[in-house]
Structure 1
Amino acid sequence: MSKKKIVSIEERIPKLKQARKKKANRRLIFYLSIFFLLLSIIVYLQSPLSNIKTIAVNGNSFVTTDEVIEVSNLTMDTNIWTINKKEIQQSISKNPVVESVEVIRKLPWTVEIQLTEYERVGYIKNQGSYYPILGNGVTLSSFKLDSMNGDAPLILDFTDEDYLNEMTNELKKLPDSILNLISEIYWSPTDENRNKILLYMNDGFVVNGTIRNFAEKMQVYPSIVSQLEAERKGIVHIGVGAYFEEYETEVEDEEVEDEVE
């Protein structure tokens, strides 16, 4: 019969004390780590270490990066945690070129300002120079051009700002594939129809339409001209109904011959 080993309480006390000491040390190390971590965060937040080092502006074409940064009031002395994104967005949005703006904080030191500008829908001609006009009706008088590059239509004879704004609002709804087909747009109001417009197209056709619901009605233009023979030219009507009216070339030729005789 085996004998059980009896351990006295005197032998166990040192081991218990050692285990408790190790546990207390681990707990102390844990609390000290938390303390120094919080202290480091406080130092970071209150020191130049958390100042902005990079301000990135994206999506701007008509307004310069320097202008955006100046309006935002952000500098390299600004603490990245103290920026008021809503206030910055409201300040930048006051620029008539800007449709929307988003301010993004990218840790550790970068602030990104993402702009969406109103699209250019055409050009206005003034004293021999050309100026882009946006979808909200704003003319960019600071973007003076000596010539057009054909990437948007020339808008002419709009002497009433309200009708011009309505026209540009319709143009911004057009897909680029149709907008790029338009060469010139003339406002041709009559007593019966103040919204009447005439469009000269890059493919040689003329469009007779109205400003009201122009974007919707203009959607039929590609399908109409695609059904016409290449040598046929005339006027595409997109007012009350959509139809094609061919030029009376034979009658015009006879009139010219009679004048020569």
Structure 2
Amino acid sequence: MTTKSSKEEVGLDKSHFIPEHQQYAQRLTALEKRRAQADHPHKGGERIGHKAHKIKWYRYFTSGERVAKLVCLFGGGLLLALYVISPLSKIKQIQVVGNNELSAGQVEKATQIHPGRYIWGVYADRNALSQSAHKNNPQVKSIRVRVTGPQAVKITVQENPVVGLVEIKQRDYDVLANGQLQVAKSDKSKITYQGFGKNRTVLRKTAVQIGKVKPVIRNGISAIAYRPTKISPRRLVIYMRDGNTVYADYKTVGKKLAYYPGIAATMKDPGVVDLQVGAYSYSYGSHDK
């Protein structure tokens, strides 16, 4: 009985001891792993340290980039402000293009763009300057201002050319291509307009049409008279410098006069070129006028 009981106790003690031994072994293994990590800390902490290093440099770089942008922004603004108030922003060179009848001086006077004026003010007011230039000189139809350098501008002009001369109330006026009138200059080689004194609307429409005619043809006109008839209430009689006379309609004369050089070249003697309806010609005295 004693022996059996002892065996049972030993068996119980052994079965009870085995789990504790395994637990001890597990604890020992865990301690060895911890000791190994303590002896070689770089193996476990390398990635964390590397990430922290990257974050540090990224923050430094982005903050430096922001500072650089702010410096460039404020620095550029300061330089611009200094340029605006300095003599370096005053105009020294003006180039005028597109003018035929107007001189560069006349364009500068009309636009009020002159050396010594601040270039930034001219550029900011360029649209208003175009309108004021037309008011100051009706021959200036429009202008376009472009800055070509720190102290240089380019003015491109579109003109309202003078298409003739008209006498109204014993005073001579230049007739512009847009139908406006201005006090005439002392140039007697211009086209003279006759019979328009009480027909300003017809004069304006005629001037607009003549403004469409090529200069080489327009320069060959000596005078234009408004001579309406019952059959042709819009008839113009145009006296050419080559001795011919042209009949035309004031609503279509700008287009029809383009045929005149070709017709005149076929005429053996001076005569009449009728452009009112169609286009044909005849010599003086050979047709019942």
TM-score by length of 1: 0.67
1:168 is displaced (CA, Å) by 0.7
Structure 2: runs of 5+ lacking an equivalent: 1-60
Residue identity in the other structure for 2:207: T
Q: Is the 8 A contact 2:222 2:241 kept in 1?
A: yes
Name 1:148's counterpart in structure 2: 188
Name 1:86's counterpart in structure 2: 127
Alignment partners' CA distance in 2, 1:212 and 1:177? 21
Alignment partners' CA distance in 1, 2:84 and 2:216? 54
5 Å-filtered alignment, 1:62-77, equals 64-65=106-107, 67-70=109-112, 76=116
Name 1:241's counterpart in structure 2: 278
Matched, 1:178 2:220: no
- Equivalenced residues, count: 216
TM-score by length of 2: 0.62
Q: Is the 8 A contact 1:57 1:115 kept in 2?
A: no
Task: From 207, 210, 219, give the equivalent of 2:249.
Answer: 210
Alignment partners' CA distance in 2, 1:196 and 1:36? 70
Distance 1:181-1:42 versus aligned 2 partners, 3 A rule: closer
SS of match in other structure, 1:80: helix
Residue identity in the other structure for 2:262: S
Structure 1: runs of 5+ lacking an equivalent: 1-23, 252-261
Aligned Cα root-mean-square deviation (Å): 3.6
Q: CA deviation digits over 1:103-144, x for unaligned, max 9?
A: 112331233333222111112245777543210112221x43
Task: From 153, 162, 165, give the equivalent of 1:123.
Answer: 165
SS of match in other structure, 2:182: coil
Distance 1:61-1:35 versus aligned 2 partners, 3 A rule: closer
Task: From 116, 139, 145, give the equivalent of 1:103.
Answer: 145
1:240 is displaced (CA, Å) by 1.4
Q: Is the 8 A contact 1:50 1:79 kept in 2?
A: no
1:188 is displaced (CA, Å) by 0.5
If you compute each CA radius of gyration, which structure gives the higher value, 1 or 2? 2
Greater fraction helix: 2
SS of match in other structure, 2:228: coil
Distance 1:216-1:36 versus aligned 2 partners, 3 A rule: closer
Q: Is the 8 A contact 2:195 2:226 kept in 1?
A: yes
Name 1:6's counterpart in structure 2: none
1:44 is displaced (CA, Å) by 2.6
Q: Is the 8 A contact 2:139 2:162 kept in 1?
A: no
Task: From 165, 175, 181, give the equivalent of 1:133.
Answer: 175
SS of match in other structure, 2:181: coil
Alignment partners' CA distance in 2, 1:87 and 1:233? 51
Identity rate of aligned residues, in percent? 21
1:46 is displaced (CA, Å) by 5.0
Distance 1:112-1:193 versus aligned 2 partners, 3 A rule: same
Distance 1:40-1:211 versus aligned 2 partners, 3 A rule: same
SS of match in other structure, 1:115: strand
Matched, 1:199 2:238: yes
Matched, 1:51 2:99: no
Residue identity in the other structure for 1:207: V
SS of match in other structure, 1:241: coil
